[in-house]
Amino acid sequence: MNVILIPSVRGGLGHIGRTAALARAITRLAPQTHIEYLLDVEEIRAFNIDAAAAMGYRVNFLPLRHRNERDPVVRACLGHADVIVEDTSRSLIPYRAIVPHAAWLSIPMYPLWDELFMDWPLLQQVDAIAWAYPPALEFPPELASLSAKVLRTGPFMELADIPKQRAARNSLGFAPTEKILLYSPRGMSFGRDFGEQVLAAVIGAANILRKEQNVRLVLTSVNDRGDLRAPGVPEPLPKWISVVPTLASRQMLTYMRAADIAITEGSNATQEAAALGTPILMVPGTIYEAWVLGTHLQSVNGAKVIWIETVNASTLAENLRALLNDKGVRDTTVANAKQAVSGGSGVDAAARWVINAGKRRKVKR
């Protein structure tokens, strides 16, 4: 069975990570499945090419399509698929008419304003819609006409084989006395202004805290050191800052488990940290789903949430200090965050749908 994953490559790492979690679940349940990524070259960010390659699957590219060559290009890229999984690339759904033999699973992002409602003619064409968010972020009620297609999976996460914190720290070489702050610039997917402000504040806050305790800052998903050149960022970086490139999912989750605090921006990393039991300081990114998740975590005391308007070294240091030094605060936020991301049938439900759909399609072909 052939499964092709088409994640959005215009934004950050979340779409790559989410589809990779689904791929791992499919492989675990049906080991003979062939899985590959197809990246749309329109508006692609180079960061996502490296990120997809790090997931361990073959990576192909969907070239620019013109009317006179659209059909053969689409057939060449998708014609061998039994199942197509598209994550927040709904503009590609009409291509299904060119490869009608393949089943189609769509994974929408939490709507930016009214986009999902306006895209309902596209979503009507798919076989299923995976709603990969916790129950607190409900499927939009104005799309009730599509409810029969919806798989309420909750976040896509595969965490069973991630080592416990002590083993994770040992495997990564962190000293027992080090306090590990984890932050992933991820190519500054929310824009340079946002990314540079957060990066400088994180480094400044870590520097403040180093006067009080043994703090190490780990910057992951940095494939280009040039991304770290920004106002307020020292050059060269001090030795207490470790820089790590984009990693395969299990490695990245091991870093997250090892951390004393995960500093997050987007929903995918925030949900993973919550499920792993790592305390969270969230600076919600400038998209609606991050705003909704940040607002919810703030309301249930599941994280320290700092909005970009007030982000600086002092505000981050104050909140990081509370998570590092106050066990009561730390334990409460961890428990509430885990509760906030729980629920749904899990990534295995989406994987089983893909496997069963692929079997049905192979019989028909």
Over residues 152-210, the pLDDT tens digits come to 999 998 888 899 999 999 999 999 999 999 999 988 889 999 999 999 999 999 999 99
DSSP classification of residue 145: G
Q: In this structure, are residues 97 and 74 in contact, taking their beta carbons and an 8 Å threshold?
A: no
CA distances from 222 to 14, 182, 249 (A): 15, 12, 15
Beta bridge mates, 154: none
pLDDT range class, residue 114, cuts 50, 70, 90? confident
Do 332 and 301 meet the contact criterion of CB atoms below 8 Å apart? yes
C-alpha angle 122-76-103 in degrees, rounded to nearest 5: 40
Distance, CA of 25 to CA of 43 (rounded, Å): 29
Domain boundaries, the chain: 2-154+344-364, 165-341
Give Cα separations from 137 to 180, 292, 295 (angstroms). 30, 8, 11
Cβ–Cβ < 8 Å for 298, 305: yes
d(CA 298, CA 292): 10
Q: What is the pLDDT of residue 226?
A: 83
Other Cβ atoms less than 10 A from the Cβ of 243: the count is: 14
Asked whether the beta carbons of 221 and 269 are under 8 A apart, the reply is no
CA atoms of 362 and 252, how far apart (whole Å): 35
pLDDT tens digits, one per residue of 333-360: 999 999 999 988 999 999 999 999 998 8
- Predicted confidence at residue 198, as pLDDT, reads 97
192, 201 contact by CB (below 8 A): no
What fold does the segment set 165-341 form as a domain?
Answer: Rossmann fold (3.40.50)
Nearest to 315 by CA among 252, 263, 238: 263
Please provide the average confidence, as pLDDT, over all residues in the chain: 93
Q: For residue 140, give the DSSP letter.
A: P
- The CATH fold assigned to 2-154+344-364 is Rossmann fold (3.40.50)
Residue where the block lists tokens 């050059």: 235
Same fold, 2-154+344-364 and 165-341: yes
The H-assigned helical ranges of the chain are: 14-29, 46-54, 70-78, 115-118, 120-123, 165-172, 192-210, 249-258, 267-276, 288-299, 313-325, 327-341, 347-364
For position 2, what pLDDT does the model report? 97
What is the Cα–Cα distance from 228 to 222, expressed in whole angstroms?
Answer: 8
Distance CA 27, CA 160 (A): 15
Cα(212)–Cα(42) distance, rounded to whole angstroms?
Answer: 48
Q: What digits encode the pLDDT tens for the residues 33-85?
A: 999 999 999 889 888 898 899 899 999 999 999 989 999 999 999 999 999 99
153: nearest Cα among 25, 285, 291, 6: 25
Q: What is the pLDDT of residue 145?
A: 92
User: DSSP secondary-structure letter at 111?
Assistant: P
Task: Assign 362 a pLDDT band (cuts: 50, 70, 90).
Answer: low
Residue 325 CB neighbour total at 10 angstroms: 13
pLDDT at residue 141 greater than cutoff 70? yes
Radius of gyration, CA atoms only, the chain: 21
